[in-house]
Structure 1
Amino acid sequence: MVDELWLEKWFHIFNHSYFEDILPLPRLQVSSSRTQLGSMSCKRKLTWRGITTCDYVIRISNYYDQTERQYQNVLLHEMIHYYISYKGICDTSPHGKVFCQIMHKLNQTYGWEIHVSSKRKAMISATKTNKKRSYLILFTEVDSRGCYLSVVHPHYFGTLVQSLSRIPAVKKYCWYTSSDSYFSDFPAVRTLRGRKISRAEWEKIEGKLKPLDIHSCHAG
């Protein structure tokens, strides 16, 4: 797992190997961002010499499971941004000509696999696809109305348990968890509402679910 000591170690190695040791050590932070694998930020101040940059921060997200090599590529990506900003180099865009020249040199000469942001977004999407989501499932059987299935927002579990106990028409309710993709298009509800299903559908689905605990079922 990446931590700040790991970041500092590899920052010094890369600074010496690829950036001529000119980059001062910035603040290095590990984040849990879902939308960015890494980021570089700084502050700009107006002085009598003009605009200067300071307070550089490089953040690397450990939210997604990656190999050490992938984390190193992300760190190098942010160090290129840092180098361009610290040297005061004008580029055509955040991933412009200068950025791409440095990136291609590191990739072609040293065998790295650094990408621009569009490919990083694709990597995030691919990792999200591989990362299974766990759903909190509520099954309810209501007098004269049939069976309903809901994906419940976890923060509202307690509220819904209390609500269920006050509704006489609810003959039975059960709580489950599941990572099955069947539930991917269910909204995460905060109130007692659900998708009506037939008894036959429920019998097919029930085998894919894991009861939440021994008290998860209640029959009225």
Structure 2
Amino acid sequence: MQIDILWLRKWFDTFNQQYFDGGLPTPRFHIGHSRTQLGTLSYKRKRGLMRTSLYDFALGMSNYYDQSEHQFQSVLLHEMIHLSIAASGLTDTAPHGVVFRGMMSRLNREGWHIHVTTSTRGMQKAYTGSERVIGQYLVLAIELADGRHFLSSVSPRHARALNERVQQAGEVRQAAWYTTSDPWFADMPKVRSLRGRRVSAEVFANKTARMKPIAF
């Protein structure tokens, strides 16, 4: 199988409550196709007078390989351990040091298969023509004050910044975010700026009615 942003959000929220007491900050999510990294966690540093704080967390996972849901979930939990350590300000002995391994062992006793490193040798590449592969698109739907309608397929990595720009744009009457697997969006570039495809009010209403709304 493969995963999408909705899957990632759902299981992050579930595991956050189940294993981390709901204390993890919600990161930006993105899905890529890395051959060498099944999961990643990144963040920015802010250096203060007495301490360095971490912020703007981003959690990514790779759809390059055809994995079971349990395997994807174990990779997600691996990255959530990293997030827990980073967000709490703990200092580990190494990137996968004593603290990480202790948390990993606790979760593995729950039935997970979290590893310090996972070899991709022998793993099957996902077949993108399979019905098991999810073509998922993050869509920004905008109606302007002059009555024009636009649909944009947005790069998830830039969605938060783009959402802030939309909120500040005076000519925007209303804007909403959706996810969809509609192949109509397959030939649209994943934008990083406020641009999209102009559509009729009828197409706009038809497409948004069939998509799943999400909130930032």
In structure 2, the residue matched to 1:107 is 108
Structure with higher helix content:
1
What is the TM-score when the length of structure 1 is the normalising length? Answer: 0.55
> CA shift at 1:46, angstroms?
1.4
Q: Which amino acid aligns with 1:62?
A: N
- Aligned with 1:13: secondary structure? helix
Q: Which amino acid aligns with 1:91?
A: D
Runs of 4+ off more than 2 Å: 47-50
| RMSD, aligned α-carbons | 1.7
Q: After superposition, what is the alpha-carbon deviation per residue over 1:101-148, rounded to whole angstroms, capped at 9, x for unaligned?
A: 00000011x11111111xx1x2x1121xx459xxxxxxxxxxxxxxxx
Matches within 5 A, 1:141-160: none
In structure 2, the residue matched to 1:19 is 20
Counterpart CA distance in 2 for 1:67 and 1:35 is 18
**8 Å Cα contact 2:64/2:125 also seen in 1:** no
Change (3 A) 1:40 1:131: closer
> CA shift at 1:48, angstroms?
4.4
The answer to which structure, 1 or 2, has the higher relative contact order (CA under 8 A, 6+ apart) is 2
Q: After superposition, what is the alpha-carbon deviation per residue over 1:11-43, rounded to whole angstroms, capped at 9, x for unaligned?
A: 000000000100111001101111100010100
Counterpart CA distance in 1 for 2:92 and 2:49 is 24
Question: Are positions 1:46 and 2:42 aligned together?
Answer: no
In structure 1, the residue matched to 2:65 is 64
Counterpart CA distance in 2 for 1:131 and 1:113 is 20
In structure 2, the residue matched to 1:125 is 121
Counterpart CA distance in 1 for 2:125 and 2:44 is 35
Rg larger in 1 or in 2? 1
> CA shift at 1:50, angstroms?
2.7
Counterpart CA distance in 1 for 2:53 and 2:97 is 21
In structure 1, the residue matched to 2:4 is 3
> CA shift at 1:47, angstroms?
2.9
Q: After superposition, what is the alpha-carbon deviation per residue over 1:131-180, rounded to whole angstroms, capped at 9, x for unaligned?
A: 59xxxxxxxxxxxxxxxxxxxxxxxxxxxxxxxxxxxxxxxxxxxxxxxx
Matches within 5 A, 1:29-40: 29-40=30-41
In structure 1, the residue matched to 2:76 is 75
Question: Are positions 1:93 and 2:89 aligned together?
Answer: no
Q: Which amino acid aligns with 1:92?
A: T
Counterpart CA distance in 1 for 2:31 and 2:66 is 14
Percentage of pairs with the same residue: 49
Counterpart CA distance in 2 for 1:79 and 1:55 is 14
